[in-house]
Structure 1
């Protein structure tokens, strides 16, 4: 495989699979790098890593890597120097990499005593280019689905009527379009049914701020902080002061109300 990018130094495309999304707390379980060389050639390296902490089930269900898969793999500390050498002199690229992959990788290097500097590297994020050139706003949706230019955008009446047209067109466009779930089974996520569209739109959120969500087992879990991924009812039973901390903290009233409902019922969806 070759590339056609005009490069002055190698460009290392990389992607991380991790135990979660918190840079300070979570760890890398797999890293894949495709190093695009100046001559057009591509060198690929993929390595699984023992994170030294349990991989939460929620993360394993996303990337398919479980504790058993990495128990005999090296730690990041063991591969850090050779990894840094492989990336020596490279610019870095990825998809949403500037917000997640780069900070996570730098944190792992620093945590293990390897001074991995990025200030002299160019950082290329393909997602930023995608969002710039293919905007995901109402005007773009109206043009894509309804084949019309949105006049008077940001006028409330124009926007609300355009949104109605867009949703109508989306349902018509996707109603019989299948996707595949993590078990490779086909399902139809878009149906002309508001209950189905509601479930898709809310994305398992419990409160609007997203501080609590339903996990794969449809159990309410925290989605932030030291108890991230843990069942809400279980945390409140073991640490009642956490409830008081949230109720007295700067959290939205909606979050406090939903938390109180869970505390009173301990419910499972």
Structure 2
């Protein structure tokens, strides 16, 4: 069943220095953009992370310090990537928990505005885990009957993710044929911050970690205002700090 698109969708895959949203960096990005007519554009770039690539990360994706020493930094390509992703929904494999959050962090570090409010996020892994419980390589074998040669190459993984989604639409007609129907079927994450330090509960933001877990953010900011300063100085992702500041500012506005 061909996917009916109201606007383009961009499947993103990153290779990185590690998995910490607050401190790790992108070393390779591949974007497979599917237009409304089904045509495909691919953009792939090696990125200089401006930090050493740990040996454990190189063992996974094969990218070394020497391979990226002359590559552009994220700041140097940020505007080009932003324009390529303009007016696109975003997809990937485990992308809602890693690739998209880390990409947003990189944009925040550059100070370049990357609006997420109008974008729908389609994580193909959620369909697979709901239906079959497997990894991307197994998903590719299961749905496409192909071996995923070159796994952990960003471009290979991003293209494979798109092919897996196409096969899922054929296998599961109950998904429908558009982004809205798929997200309705698999459930839409109510994301406050990508690191999930806050979650929504009964329509309000609550802490999802630490001594205040389960308490509303507004309640804590009122009773313990120094907690805001502690988080802003701490090793939290920029997106988490941005959302905390938005909640604080909203609280102050209501006061006045």
State TM-score, norm by structure 2: 0.52
SS of the residue 2:115 aligns to: coil
- Within 2, Cα distance between the matches of 1:25 and 1:6? 38
1:36-115 to structure 2, matched below 5 A, reads 36-115=34-113
- Within 2, Cα distance between the matches of 1:36 and 1:30? 20
How far 1:117 sits from its partner (Å)? 1.6
SS of the residue 1:92 aligns to: strand
- Within 2, Cα distance between the matches of 1:78 and 1:20? 21
- Within 1, Cα distance between the matches of 2:117 and 2:20? 22
More helix by proportion, 1 or 2? 2
* Larger RCO, structure (CA 8 Å, separation 6 or more): 2
Is 1:19 matched up with 2:17?
A: yes
How far 1:94 sits from its partner (Å)? 0.1
How far 1:48 sits from its partner (Å)? 0.4
- Within 1, Cα distance between the matches of 2:96 and 2:66? 30
- Within 1, Cα distance between the matches of 2:120 and 2:78? 21
How far 1:135 sits from its partner (Å)? 4.3
- Within 2, Cα distance between the matches of 1:118 and 1:21? 21
2:33 to 32, 35, 58: 35
Higher gyration radius (CA):
1
The count of aligned residue pairs is 138
- Within 2, Cα distance between the matches of 1:63 and 1:49? 13
- Within 2, Cα distance between the matches of 1:35 and 1:90? 8
- Within 2, Cα distance between the matches of 1:126 and 1:56? 28
Gaps of 5+ in 1: 137-179, 183-269
CA deviation map 1:4-54 (0-9, x unaligned) = 321000000010000000011000000000000001100011000000000
- Within 1, Cα distance between the matches of 2:117 and 2:19? 23
Gaps of 5+ in 2: 135-148, 152-256
How far 1:119 sits from its partner (Å)? 1.8
SS of the residue 2:128 aligns to: helix
SS of the residue 1:6 aligns to: coil
- Within 2, Cα distance between the matches of 1:101 and 1:117? 16
SS of the residue 2:44 aligns to: strand
